[in-house]
Amino acid sequence: MRLEKCWFCSSTVYPGHGIQFVRNDAKIFRFCRSKCHKNFKMKRNPRKVKWTKAYRRLHGKDMTQDSTFEFERKRNRPERYDRNIAENTLKAIKKIDKIRSDRASDHIKNRLKTGKIQRQKEARKQLEQDIHLVKAPLALAQDSSLRLPKIKVNVSQTQTEENQAMEE
């Protein structure tokens, strides 16, 4: 059973499913559903459509380079069936799937870590600004560590002739 990839969204197209489009130059395009086929006919770029695999890889939302992807490559060379090799292959597939899922979850955690740090900074800044809402005013007056340092700004009072004329 040959599983093809959708040209637009890179999802799997099972036998008997999807749409196949053959261009005049004999290039074959396979689509998993009419949504992908319609977007192709509208000449949309898969790298700019947010729900496609190409967009997710281009913008760092999915893993792009990993050694486990080597096992998923399409091989056109037929292999002679051997029960031992098939058994070992099935065991290896399970291990590879586990490794890939672990690496994908690590990738997601690392990707979301920056947003978490940013949210913590914003929360800390807001807490510093609105500490009077959390602590009682008397407690703020007694404990100087809870107050923000006051900054003195010197403003020069030089006025030009034009400003004096406008004031009069």
Q: What dihedral angle (degrees, nearest 10) is formed by the CA atoms of 147, 148, 149, 151?
A: -130
Q: Are 91 and 84 in contact (CB under 8 A)?
A: no
In this prediction, residues 64-78 reach a mean pLDDT of 70
What pLDDT does residue 18 have? 94
**Percent of the chain having pLDDT more than 90?**
32
At 134-165, the pLDDT tens digits run: 777 677 677 766 666 667 767 776 656 655 66
> Whole-prediction pTM value?
0.48
Decide which of 56 and 134 is more confident: 56
Burial 40-64 (b: 16+ CB within 10 A, else e): beeeeebeeeeebbbbbeeeeebbe
> What's the pLDDT band for 13 if we cut at 50, 70, 90?
very high
Decide which of 113 and 36 is more confident: 36
Decide which of 40 and 56 is more confident: 40
**For 20, phi and psi rounded to 5 degrees?**
-120, 130
What pLDDT does residue 124 have? 86
**Percent of the chain having pLDDT more than 70?**
77
- Using the predicted structure, report yes or no on whether residue 133 has a pLDDT greater than 70: yes
In this prediction, residues 1-5 reach a mean pLDDT of 86
> What's the pLDDT band for 57 if we cut at 50, 70, 90?
confident
- Using the predicted structure, report yes or no on whether residue 11 has a pLDDT greater than 80: yes
> What's the pLDDT band for 89 if we cut at 50, 70, 90?
confident
Tell me the C-alpha distance between 26 and 109, whole Å. 43
In this prediction, residues 53-66 reach a mean pLDDT of 80
In this prediction, residues 126-131 reach a mean pLDDT of 82
| Cross-strand bridge partners of residue 28 | 22
